[in-house]
Chains A and B, each alone.
Chain A
Amino acid sequence: MASVTGADRPRKKIQRKRVPVAPYFVGLILVLALLWVAALAGSGWKFPTPKLGLDLQGGLSMTLSAYQQGSDEPPSPETMEQARQIIENRVNSTGVSEPEVFIEGNENIVVNVAGNDIDEEALRDVGAPAELRFRIVTNSVADTSALEEQLAEQETPSEEPTEGTSETPTADASETPAEDASETPSEEAAEETSEGSGQAPTTDDVVTTLDEVWAKVGPDAAAAAQALTAAPDEATGALLEPFAALAPEEVALLPATVQFYIPQITCETLDSRPPGSVQQADIEVAACSAPEAASTDDSSLTFQYKYLLQPATVIGSDVTSADVGTDQANLNQFVVNVQFSAEGAEKWSALTTENLQSQVAIVLDNEVVSAPTIQEVSTNSTQISGDFTAAEANQLADQLNFGSLPTNFVVETVNEVTATLGVDQLEAGMLAMLFGLILVFLYCMVYYRLMGFVVLGSLLVATAVLYPTVALLGSQIGLTLTLAGIAGFVVSIGIMADSFVVYFERIKEEMAGGRSARSAVPRAWVRARRTILSAAAVSMISAIVLYILAIGPVRAFAFALGLSTLVDMLVVFLFTHPIAEYLSRGNLLNKASLSGLHTKTAPAATGEAAAKG
């Protein structure tokens, strides 16, 4: 080789290149150990399994798309998040197990429910706007059960907030705030469930008719409850204990007065009644307000008002529009202006005339979103004032416009996959992966001979890295492995193997130039590394862009590609390169028949031909 001037310094570098390979393997083993331990820990020390997507385990996946009339603008991320939470609550209340509700792209909400027995009808409705009801408040009471729990949690650090609590809720409540009544039950209920064996043995068996509910709580409690016309005294309060153990679905069956007067039926229970429990306009219902801060110092302390409400005469469709404005008298005060339709205005005017100075509750889903007091008779429009912040006023206006969801949703796709089909698809995906690996391996064996084993080893190491990673991501951030994801992994076998091809072709090229494997391998590595990194960068860009911007199955696919690219880098740097380096020390790679890297013809000296120019 032409030893040209100035080549001394670099030559040293080449010498130093002959680094020990052991650290790489130690690094690789550490990475592997770390991943596997983490994956094992993540799955509770059982063999980790990836979280399978619905198309592989069976279940129902539904995509809801936000849709705004006359506008192509996607809703704001805050709006979407708000909608997501509401939808998640609704999905939860349909009683399915472990639903997943997430935002995809900027206008889609995906609801995933595993399993086979899903009430599709109920699920479809989770995206529907709950219709608004205006109901006159007959009675209200502060429900402090949540507050007591919060206080109990806080008890150890400080006792102070207790003072503020007992004041605020009572200040406004018209009825006896039932402090004692609601205090005892929660404790006693706990006792009851722990020691009482006969009382509510089958709480998980949810009954579906009112008679069964009465039977479930027992005749005494039922009689006492039905006799209620006001908050119970202490003696009856004790009798009503069984009601604390009822499921929200069962509570929903009870008459509104019972739901309202029994302190054991907390707002928490009322809020988790099935969607539409207070939808029926022509009956009396019980519902709770949103949690309100009990003390100004500590926003984590909250309580709710429990309302008994009259049948609704004015409903959501009577409202034509609602928007936020400011009070004419006080410009810092936000108000919500509501416009009624002609028919709505008539009903509204009748309602306000009859109920001047009483509270009218605006009811959505199972919740009273606002309960302003009627100040004057109004007709085609009305103004709701209160201590609104701008955000609160906007939210109320949105709720009046859209129902509780901040925007409209339409069902875009519903995919229901039976468990059998899921298993079929999973098997097919796995089979494709196996075939892919075998085909690639065979090809590499033919082409690179012994080095084919290096390819196989690298692919196996990659699998050993990928598997716990996918399992770990599944248990930690809920990444699911879908069919598209498996396809992504299968395709990435090729992309991974390509890094090895780039590397080996380089070695071959260097050896064709007359080098021994010993000197060709480090040189080839320097060159190949650049190429591999550039190509990986392009793959990563494509994976990231697709993951962020695309919707639907594209994302799973992109994720698989991106992850594979990263793992590929890891494997090439920590396994393939060191092992090639190691093999180059022996005489193995110099044998053409074994390595597949060697060109048989004895190469002529290269230097001269080029040096002429």
Chain B
Amino acid sequence: MSTKQTEKRPGILSQLYRGETELQFVPNRKKFYIASAVVLGALVVVMLVKGFVLGIDFAGGVQYTVPAADTSVSLQDVEDAAEEAGAEVGSGQIAGSGDGRSFVVRVGELDADEQQTVRAAVAESAGIGTDSISVSEVSATWGASVSRQALVALVVFMVLVSIFIWIRFERRMAAAAIAALLHDLVLTAGIYALVGFEVTPSTIVGMLTILGYSLYDTVVVFDKVQENTAQLLQTRSKTFAEGVNDAINQTLMRSINTTIIGVLPVAALLFVGVGLLGVGTLRDIALVLFVGMIVGTYSSICLASPWVVDMAERSAVYKRHNQKIANKRAGIGSEGEDEKPARKPAEAQDEDDDRLVLAKSDELPLELLEEPEKAASGSGGARSGGAKKRKRR
């Protein structure tokens, strides 16, 4: 695993496979920020202008699922029958095919008697008994109470997870993780609005699941970041930003694998949900998850970790550390940077800072096992030990 600019660079896939990529996520973070901001802005506009298509759970109404293996019956017949019986037909859909074919007809709110009338009419038009029709009836307030509870759950979840990440990692990571999570939620919701899928309680289930998934991915990346940067301040080999970038690169293949492996079953759900059932729980959950998982991985890599860098670099400890590295690199004379005020007097103070960080990183079990300080950060550090231009503010 020699340093980077050696003879033959293997192909990108092979690099990925070995965790040897050197994609510049952190240095290019501003571009990701801008891209995300633009996309988010556009999607917020979409949400505001276009709005969501609300399912019967939000609008209130009745949904009839009418088996229609008999191809002589058309959806139009059934809709007409419902209309005639006094229902306001909202939408009609054909789900499944062959023997599993059925019509899904949604109508506005009906009272109990009207509902029975419409059901009988629909059954007659489809040439089946009323018993074969599945009915789902929802009041207009139900969707609202589902969403309200979901919102409560969302807030509680965020608070708990922030605390967890704060304890397990640190507060900057907690902030970054939550920010990334919000990004994922808004983005997914925006795409949902853009595509115009119907919003049902299952959609909300999906949204809430993204919470767990997006954070799961972020936590794994952070874990690597923490491991790689735990001893960073004791060395002068690379800046925090570089350490984080290495961590992202090393865990990149895992992130991609996780996403693929996570998305595969969801794709199966989506396929089965759309292909066999047409509508309902499976499809709604799967659609949201599909988008959410991909966005979640993106945000862990391109947003959450760089944010941690941004926040960390604002602290005095890391500023000084960056400074020292810049000094050192300048001293070696590889690349001259313009401003590099030497700050020897600060050295004594730094030791204190370092000790603090050291104390914190003691929890790492592996550090107890073998090869204390250098080699631990070395496994990752060796790779891109080379000098990078780092901007300081």
Chain B residues within an 8 Å CB radius of A558: 208
* Beta-carbon contacts under 8 Å, A518-550 to B: 523, 526-527, 530-531, 534-535, 537-539, 541-543, 545-546, 549-550
Contact B100 A424 (CB under 8 A): yes
Contact B368 A13 (CB under 8 A): yes
CB-based nearest B residue for A61: B136
Q: What distance in Å separates the Cβ of A1 from its nearest Cβ neighbour in chain B? A: 7
User: How many angstroms between the C-alpha atoms of A108 and B141 in the bound complex?
Assistant: 12
Q: Does B139 contact A (CB under 8 A)?
A: yes
User: How many angstroms between the C-alpha atoms of A319 and B76 in the bound complex?
Assistant: 51
User: How many angstroms between the C-alpha atoms of A432 and B204 in the bound complex?
Assistant: 20
Given known pairs A410-B139, A421-B65, A542-B212, the reply for A599 and B18 (CB within 8 Å) is yes
Chain B residues within an 8 Å CB radius of A23: none
Contact A551 B145 (CB under 8 A): yes
Contact B138 A420 (CB under 8 A): no
Q: Does A187 contact B (CB under 8 A)?
A: no
Q: What distance in Å separates the Cβ of A436 from its nearest Cβ neighbour in chain B? A: 3
Q: What distance in Å separates the Cβ of B1 from its nearest Cβ neighbour in chain A? A: 5
Q: What distance in Å separates the Cβ of A540 from its nearest Cβ neighbour in chain B? A: 9
Contact A530 B223 (CB under 8 A): yes
CB-based nearest B residue for A436: B265
Contact B280 A483 (CB under 8 A): yes
User: How many angstroms between the C-alpha atoms of A115 and B238 in the bound complex?
Assistant: 68
Contact A13 B369 (CB under 8 A): yes
Q: Does A209 contact B (CB under 8 A)?
A: no
Q: Which of A509, A527, A534, A545 contacts B19 (CB 8 A)?
A: A509
Contact A550 B149 (CB under 8 A): yes
Chain A residues within an 8 Å CB radius of B306: none
Kindly supply a per-residue 1/0 record for chain A positions 403-429, scoring 1 wherever the CB is within 8 Å of any chain B CB and 0 otherwise.
Answer: 000000011111111101100110111
User: How many angstroms between the C-alpha atoms of A612 and B386 in the bound complex?
Assistant: 12
* Beta-carbon contacts under 8 Å, B5-28 to A: 10, 17-19
Chain A residues within an 8 Å CB radius of B204: 554
Q: Does A397 contact B (CB under 8 A)?
A: no
Q: What distance in Å separates the Cβ of A526 from its nearest Cβ neighbour in chain B? A: 5
User: How many angstroms between the C-alpha atoms of A541 and B373 in the bound complex?
Assistant: 34
Chain B residues within an 8 Å CB radius of A484: 202, 205, 281, 285
Of the stretches A34-42, A308-316, A465-473, A485-493, the one at the interface is A485-493
Contact B286 A509 (CB under 8 A): no
User: How many angstroms between the C-alpha atoms of A117 and B129 in the bound complex?
Assistant: 12
Chain B residues within an 8 Å CB radius of A116: 131
Chain A residues with a Cβ closer than 8 Å to the other chain, count: 100
Given known pairs A523-B366, A541-B157, the reply for A435 and B271 (CB within 8 Å) is yes
Given known pairs A487-B281, A494-B265, the reply for A611 and B133 (CB within 8 Å) is no
User: How many angstroms between the C-alpha atoms of A609 and B3 in the bound complex?
Assistant: 8
CB-based nearest B residue for A606: B382
Contact A124 B282 (CB under 8 A): no
Of the stretches A84-92, A357-365, A498-506, the one at the interface is A498-506
Chain B residues within an 8 Å CB radius of A435: 265, 268, 271-272
* Beta-carbon contacts under 8 Å, A3-19 to B: 3-4, 6-7, 10-11, 13-14
Question: Which residues on B are within 8 Å of A, measured CB to CB?
Answer: 1-3, 10, 17-19, 57, 65, 67, 96, 100, 102, 112, 116, 131-139, 141-142, 145-146, 149-150, 152-153, 156-157, 160-161, 164, 168, 201-202, 204-205, 208-209, 211-213, 215-216, 219-220, 223-224, 227, 235-238, 250-251, 253-254, 257-258, 260-269, 271-273, 276-277, 280-282, 285-286, 289, 365-366, 368-375, 377-379, 381-382, 385
Given contacts A425-B280, A427-B276, A429-B272, 7 further A-B contacts (CB under 8 A): A413-B57, A428-B272, A513-B379, A526-B369, A539-B212, A549-B152, A557-B285
* 18 pairs from A and B in contact (CB 8 Å cutoff): A4-B374, A10-B368, A10-B369, A117-B131, A411-B137, A416-B134, A421-B67, A491-B262, A508-B19, A523-B370, A531-B220, A542-B157, A542-B211, A546-B208, A549-B149, A554-B201, A606-B1, A613-B385
